[in-house]
Amino acid sequence: MAADSDLGAEALPNEVVVTEILARLPAKSVGRFRCVCRGWSAMLSSDYFIDLHRQRANRSSGPPRLLVTAVGSSYDGYLYSWQLGDGAVEKLMRDDWLQSVVPLTKHCRGLVLIRATDCGGYYVVNPCSGEALALPDSQVPFKMAYKTSGWSRRSMEPPCYLRVSYGLGYYTTRKEYKVVLVRWFTPTTGTGYWRPSAERSPLCSVTPWNYPAVFLDGHLHFLCFDGGIVTFSIGDETFGSLLSPPGFGNVATSVSVLTELDGRLCVCYGEPDSDDPLVLCVYYNKEARWEKLICCIDRTAWPESERMLLKSLWIAPVGVYYSAAGTTLKIMFGTGSCKVFAVDSNGGADPEILLTPEDTIIGNCEDDYLPTIGLYEESLVSLGRTIEDMIFSSPTTAAWFNILKWLPARSLSELRMVCREWRGMIMSDCFIRSHAVSTQT
């Protein structure tokens, strides 16, 4: 009897046992179990379970899991995941963007910001669930459309934003994701430098429009032409800046990549399709200083076969891991031709080729200057609905939409302060376009 009572005292509640079991299943299986009953649907969709599942599903000390896409006529039009040691790639979701998806950011708690190069526009995607949410006004931002289409309105006079940069971050306190759009404009005076449009942003030159921000430690980091780095706090929504790596200002930004390695900000520069050295600089946050992780990767010392195979229009570091013996730190790189290789952190050894598309079901890939490799993480996060969907799903909001679009712009700027719903509606792409048409008739 004593043994039975001891066993009963140590037993866990059924709800805890079921939760722990389901948290160890693949995300696709969990998605099916949401259909069992309303109770399970609510439990498996809760913030607590989503966080628990993300921790359980992605708990690994080995090499990072990669998100793989490709460019080329033989590409079968799917996104894949792959991890060193697991063998074949895993098919995730179909590429519904005309085989032109570019993974711009590393995953942010499972979500990835991508750009569709052929049809245009930016999307937030959960590759694990197959959900995709189009960002409004991202194919051609509204002021850019006015500038390029030849329309002339007083409110659309310069500054017009000819370059934009996007970033995806997560605000831990409020448990919400944020997509940040930074618009840059040409100053009326100067020699062609680009400046950010927000009033509180520092004056600096702009990144190319397709260069995304890197999310790290609650901040988005934007790389600039002059070698500077602009930061944006996701929580406070304020701008700041970081010192650039020593000597980096003399390097062309077109051959530079800003990324994150092992929880630290990293800049990699060097001509990818040449034999020039690749240089990696890592920023140590607590000491607030830059340090060269590798003085240089001398590709001329590589064997001829590896050097020709890995020559590409795009090369960037995607992750770090330790060798099987656990003694050597490896840096994993991706190329525009969908190849993955690793080098020792001291840069001295020959490259180790880990993945080539010809060895997988992806097929042969064409080389391109666009990213084809990113990081992947399983996630149950739901993307929700766009502002446009929410506007037109409510009859009341739709009625206010049709009334407010006839008001002057000055009145609308004041009405944006009424509530968050009105602010979101007035600042949405569909409302701006409808207001522009209504005020011209």
Which pLDDT tens digit goes with each residue over 22-43? 888 888 888 888 888 888 888 8
Which tokens is 106 given? 């590393």
Look at 228 and 83; give whichever has higher pLDDT: 83
Whether the model pTM is above 0.85: no
Compute the CA torsion angle 178, 62, 93, 393 (nearest 10 deg): -20
Look over the chain and give the mean of its residue pLDDT values, rounded to a whole number.
Answer: 75
Is the per-residue pLDDT at 372 higher than 60?
yes
For residues 363-373, give the mean pLDDT.
Answer: 77
> What local confidence, expressed as pLDDT, does residue 8 receive?
45
Is the per-residue pLDDT at 437 higher than 70?
yes
What architecture (CATH level 2) is domain 58-375?
A: 6 Propeller (2.120)
Look at 401 and 227; give whichever has higher pLDDT: 401
Is the per-residue pLDDT at 426 higher than 80?
yes
Is the per-residue pLDDT at 132 higher than 80?
yes
Place of tokens 């996630």: 379
Per-domain residue ranges for the chain?
2-55, 58-375, 387-440
b/e for 416-431, b at 16 or more Cβ within 10 A?
Answer: eeeeeebebbbebbbb
Which tokens is 121 given? 């526009």
Look at 312 and 441; give whichever has higher pLDDT: 312
**Strand boundaries in 206-328, DSSP class E:** 214-216, 219-223, 229-233, 239-242, 256-261, 264-269, 278-284, 289-297, 315-322
Place of tokens 């245009």: 120
**Strand boundaries in 85-121, DSSP class E:** 90-94, 101-103, 112-116
Task: Check if the beta carbon of residue 379 is closer than 8 Å to that of residue 365.
Answer: no
Sorting pLDDT into bands at 50, 70 and 90, what band is 262? confident
